[in-house]
Structure 1
Amino acid sequence: MTIKTTHTGSLPRTQDVVDMIFARENGEAYNADDFASVMKDASAATVARQVETGIDVVSDGETSKISYATYVKDRYTGFSGDSPRNAPGDLKLFPSFLKRLAEAGGTPQYARPMCTGPVKSKGQADLLADIANLKAGMEAHGAAEGFMNAASPGVISLFLQNEYYGSRDEYLGALADAMKDEYRTIVDAGLYLQLDCPDLALSRHMLFGDLSDEEFLKIAATHVEALNGALDGIDPDRVRVHICWGNYEGPHVCDIDMAKVFDTLMSVNANQLLFETSNPRHAHEWTVFRDRVDDIPASKILVPGVVDTTTNFVEHPEVVAQRLERFLPFMGTDRVIAGSDCGFGTFAGFGAVDPEIAYAKLGALVEGTRLANARA
């Protein structure tokens, strides 16, 4: 088998998409039909660009979403007000850098309401529109496989904090109950479901910095338990899970090691595992998978990030190939897919990487994968 190519989901949005999203976000007047038309056209164009670049498993680029986690406030009841902002622990250690980021507009601006009431679905109109737009784009441009992102209960609890339920576990349970229909709908549409789970790594230094690693891992286990409950009955072969430490350029000196979250990652009922291996803080951690290959269930497929998503360096295809080839001796080409460290458009209207350079990096991902396949 040959190694396929994909990415983590979010891609740069055009200015008309951003303007529409923020008009809705800010409660400004906008035409719903125009909104739907813009999102449909932009999603199709995003699919076309991926196909032209050579990506095998495409997404809608999260076109219509304000962000990968906080979009739930628009689709579910129970959220209002604003959550306290808590900078990642590594940025707190370097306050001059944090100040520089803030003053330069290096932090995204979007609402993070609290959970102040029961979390219930408002209906699936937005989700069904996203699915229809993605599938139409795939059909029009010849993409055989597609995936759609969805927030995990844990990442929702990270960014939209609880002020209603009696405990964290109760809140996670309510979120899992609310989200499971979204998960099922995506899979039933013939798409892969990608669950974004930075709560399994990023939240260690963003929300639980006062705990020990061991205490954090116990909390992470409760997040996985809630997530797996929401996935009950869904074929793990149709599910991807993405773990990361925060998609921002920063020191990342507080990141918990992959070696410590390895078991947590393996315990998710998802058979495609997306993780960072390109940025300088985690590039070495491919060895964790090599050294613990016997602990990787035979059903699991590794999707290492072979291009970084926080800098405008375009990786040489040979670098991409070498990053992939590290995994082949112990996983084989049938259990490795080339991916990106994270998304290129995690938040609408905000991204460190120039949109054209983002696609150039995906092009390098494709070319490097071709090299690795030719040598395998």
Structure 2
Amino acid sequence: MATPIRTSHAGSLPRTKELIAATAARKENPQDVPGYEALLRDSVIDLVKRQKDLGISIPNDGEYGHAMANEIDYGAWWHYVFARTGGLELTGAELWEQPAVRSEPGNIKLTSFGDRRDRRLFEDAYTDPNSGITTGPPAQFPAATGPISYTGQEQVQRDIANVKAGLEAAGYAISDGYLNSLAPGSAARIENKHYASEEEFIWAWADVLREEYLAITEAGLTVQIDDPSIAENWDQINPEPTVEEYRAFTQIRIEALNHALRGIPEEQVRFHTCWGSWHGPHVTDLPFADIVDLVLQINAAGYTFEAANVRHEHEWRIWEDTTLPEGKHIIPGIVSHATNVVEHPELVADRIERFARLVGPENVVASTDCGLGGRIHPQIAHAKLETLVAGAELASTRF
């Protein structure tokens, strides 16, 4: 009997035009959009049903509760949390205009987003609007000007209620569903004007975000921790650090996250990392082999990472030498968010099979590299999920 390969995705799915328009209007004046909450709820219910119809095994709300007011948006997974956190103030500085910071041996620091090493190496391409590189529209980011606190209780309960309604209507079990939430390390990449050190700021975020993790898991859902920073930070340090320095820098973020997850059953946690989802060269990305053991330290049952991205597809081989701990599973990206080409089901099956033969088909959930929402056209996103499921069905016949 064939071992069925389960399917999922990284979280964000394309919003409807109606939801994007309503969200944009709410940014100007929430009172001008009567019926928004009902529209959001109905949109989530419809989306979960569409995932069921496609054959997705492990669905979510498409991150619809994380406000996206533009069809192209690379940051909703991240900046949603700032509206749920006290102690922050908008600084007026756009993300790409932050001043550059330089590191010293033994004291590595994040530089500005506009001063990434990949961006410097391909500066002409990054600044050419016709190059095909996409990073999304500029966005203002806040600074911490006082003690931070979680204020998103109402929003997260709304997200929970909406996805539960969708799961029940589509015939999923509540335990099949998940909601995305930000990691302390990624949250702490904004400017800190209050805490005495970067480490203190990260641990403060761990206490804040724990409230969201608890709300999601106590509702019977799985929480997906989104933390591109674990891999992506490497490109954002100038000059390039040693791998040993970077691992020590990252270890603090791992420990803070595990602190935030304390007591939460691992089977209700999955962890996502990537090398940043912008469409660019990525030649300064850190090899996954340099941090995979750190990722496996995180108190989660599942680990989702980019594996269809052409800069990282070859890294499936690290599982020849990396032992997946008992009771854990991997959720590799099998279709990419970074190309409009829809992968053939045979290619999808081949990619799945590589992982399944190394860690066991029961320990593989076929997924997307990153969120599809805000990055590719909805029609193409739908086709990619269709081919993901078709390829998983084909791969299942091979075991």
TM-score range normalised by the length of the shorter chain = over 0.9
Q: 1:214 aligns with which of 241, 244, 247?
A: 244
Cα deviation, residue 93, structure 1 = 1.1
Aligned to 1:97: 125
Aligned to 1:370: 393
Q: 1:133 aligns with which of 154, 159, 162?
A: 162
Cα deviation, residue 30, structure 1 = 3.5
Q: 2:136 aligns with which of 108, 112, 116?
A: 108
Q: Does 1:6 align with 2:8?
A: yes
Q: 1:195-344, aligned counterparts within 5 Å?
A: 195-207=225-237, 210-293=240-323, 296-344=324-372
SS of 1:19's equivalent in the other structure is: helix
Q: 1:24 aligns with which of 23, 26, 30?
A: 26
Q: Distance in 1 between matches of 2:229 and 2:273?
A: 8
Cα deviation, residue 103, structure 1 = 9.3
Q: Does 1:192 align with 2:222?
A: yes
SS of 1:100's equivalent in the other structure is: coil
Cα deviation, residue 323, structure 1 = 0.4
Q: Does 1:74 align with 2:76?
A: no
Cα distance, 1:4–1:208 mapped onto 2, change above 3 Å: farther
SS of 2:330's equivalent in the other structure is: strand
Q: Distance in 1 between matches of 2:252 and 2:364?
A: 28
Cα deviation, residue 69, structure 1 = 1.3
Q: Does 1:157 align with 2:188?
A: yes
* Contact 1:309–1:342 (Cα < 8 Å) also in 2: yes
**What's the TM-score, normalizing by structure 1?**
0.93
Q: Which runs of 5+ in 2 are unaligned?
A: 68-75, 97-112
Aligned to 1:124: 153
* Contact 1:6–1:338 (Cα < 8 Å) also in 2: yes
Q: Distance in 2 between matches of 1:102 and 1:75?
A: 36
Cα distance, 1:275–1:81 mapped onto 2, change above 3 Å: same
- Tell me how many residue pairs correspond in the alignment: 367
CA deviations 1:221-279 (Å, max 9, x no partner) are 10010000000000111100001001122110010000101111111111100011111
Cα deviation, residue 325, structure 1 = 0.5
**What's the TM-score, normalizing by structure 2?**
0.88
Q: Which runs of 5+ in 1 are unaligned?
A: none
Q: Distance in 1 between matches of 2:83 and 2:241?
A: 32
Structure 1 residue runs of 4 or more that deviate by more than 6 Å after TM superposition: 102-105
Amino acid at match of 1:114: A
* Contact 2:182–2:227 (Cα < 8 Å) also in 1: yes
SS of 2:368's equivalent in the other structure is: coil
Cα deviation, residue 96, structure 1 = 1.6
Q: Distance in 1 between matches of 2:152 and 2:378?
A: 33
Higher mean C-alpha deviation, range 89-98 or range 15-24:
15-24
Q: Distance in 2 between matches of 1:210 and 1:330?
A: 33
Q: Distance in 1 between matches of 2:269 and 2:136?
A: 28
* Contact 1:101–1:107 (Cα < 8 Å) also in 2: no
Cα distance, 1:280–1:13 mapped onto 2, change above 3 Å: same
Higher mean C-alpha deviation, range 207-216 or range 101-110:
101-110
Q: Distance in 1 between matches of 2:130 and 2:120?
A: 12
Cα deviation, residue 73, structure 1 = 1.1
* Contact 1:191–1:238 (Cα < 8 Å) also in 2: yes
SS of 1:77's equivalent in the other structure is: strand
Percent of paired sites with the same residue: 37
Q: Does 1:147 align with 2:178?
A: yes
Aligned to 1:36: 37
* Contact 1:208–1:216 (Cα < 8 Å) also in 2: no
SS of 2:147's equivalent in the other structure is: coil
